[in-house]
Amino acid sequence: MKAIDLRSDTVTQPTADMRAAMMASPLGDDVFGDDPSVNALQEKIAAMLGFEAALFVPTGTQSNLCAVLSHCQRGDEYIVGQMQHAYRWEGGGAAVFGSVQPQPLDHQPDGTLAVADIAAAIKPDDPHFARSRLLSLENTLGGKVLPLAYLQEATTFARSKGLSTHLDGARLFNAAVAQAAANGSDARAEARRIAGLFDSVSVCFSKGLGAPIGSALCGSRELIGRARRIRKMAGGGMRQSGMLAAAATFALDHHIERLAQDHALARRLAEGLAGIEGLRVEPPHTNILFVDLTGPAREKSAGLVDALAREGVLATGLYRLRFVTHLDVDAAGVDRAVAAVRSCFQG
């Protein structure tokens, strides 16, 4: 039987309809700016999120790199959370390629960066210090939706101090769908509301939206012009990339509202695992579930992920397991995952 792969929402296969859209896409050379499918995607995502322009890039990592290097010069710094992808999981790219120094801050339990901490991290204009230039936030962060009121407060404060603002919205649409469910509104309107608070936003098509490859950076025409130059330097100027852009456009048309199903499956998984002794389950906001091993259950941690794999369930973690739901998981798969975890803890 095929494994239930809960390691990440990046593992999805393009659906038959998405593949058909890719095969049918008109193509050109995007470095010359004449791939119609790339141009259509860029216009669509920019309009959806309320920006002048957008740039299609191969990965979210490159998108965040293009953003930081477009906002900052050598010797500038960006304020960022310790657990954010754009600080912790991108090989230090902003420092390596841009000589831009990160100023990491600890997160509050809800995933936010305290505005007082941001204030304290901003350096005065003094030759001792790097120039504080950018505030970078992430939503969702580890599956948590940052409150809209917080995003408003933090971005307003940053702007009042002369900082630009960037959102790593790899899972922006998961945040938007959860927020829409909470206040009875529309996911696309919520995405636009969140994005509208920032000078630039990066979104991933290759996560819950189910496209095979690709991200977009959105911003002003001027910022995206700078980002295009950086994308080229980073080796991200692709040619007939319209096939990939078509998959992303298909995802925007068909796979946003359905993220609610992934969130419901994460809750189903949480409820199933909560019944197993020794597991502390964090109630999921969206499609990412963290489960801590407590007490004697911790002794099972070594080899647990391998034992689960032998049961046909793939997850990551050691004392803190991570399960991510997505397009290629259904309720039966979630129930199999619960049964597999139970058998590991009973066996």
**Site residues (vs ligand PLP, CB under 6 A):** 59-61, 64, 85, 138, 168, 170, 204, 206-207, 215
Task: Output the smallest distance, CB 67 to ligand PLP, in A.
Answer: 11
Minimum CB–partner distance for residue 117 and ligand PLP (Å)? 20
Tell me whether residue 304 or residue 321 sits nearer to ligand PLP (CB atom).
321
Do the Cβ atoms of 289 and 266 come closer than 8 Å? yes
Least spacing, CB of residue 223 vs ligand PLP, in Å: 18
- Shortest distance in whole angstroms from residue 64 CB to ligand PLP: 6
Q: What residue number has its CB nearest to ligand PLP?
A: 60
DSSP-derived letter for residue 277 is T
Of 37 and 202, CB closest to ligand PLP: 202
How many Cα atoms occupy the beta-carbon half-sphere of 123 within 13 Å? Answer: 18
Minimum separation from the CB atom of position 181 to ligand PLP (A): 21
Torsion angle, CA of 247/253/257/262, rounded to 10 degrees?
-10
Nearer to ligand PLP by Cβ, of 141 and 273: the residue is 141
**CB of 176 closer than 8 Å to CB of 190:** yes
User: Among residues 215 and 241, whose Cβ is nearest to ligand PLP?
Assistant: 215
DSSP code, position 138: E
Q: Which two tokens stand for residue 285?
A: 């906001």
What is the sign, positive or negative, of the torsion defined by CA atoms of 278, 322, 304, 107? negative
Task: Judge whether 212 and 9 are in contact, CB under 8 Å.
Answer: no
H helical segments located in the chain? 16-23, 36-49, 60-71, 85-88, 93-98, 115-121, 148-160, 172-183, 187-195, 221-233, 242-254, 259-274, 304-310, 331-346
What the block records as the tokens of 221 is 């025409």
Q: How far is the CB of 169 from ligand PLP (least distance, A)?
A: 8
Q: Give whichever of 58 and 340 is closer to ligand PLP, judged by the CB atom.
A: 58
60 or 210: CB nearest ligand PLP: 60
Cβ distance to ligand PLP smaller for residue 58 or 131: 58
Dist CA 271 CA 103 (whole Å): 38
Our CA dihedral for 150, 155, 157, 162, rounded to 10 degrees, sits at 170
**Cβ nearer to ligand PLP, comparing 53 with 137:** 137
CB of residue 171 to ligand PLP, shortest distance in Å: 6
3-state secondary structure of 269: helix
Q: How far is the CB of 303 from ligand PLP (least distance, A)?
A: 27
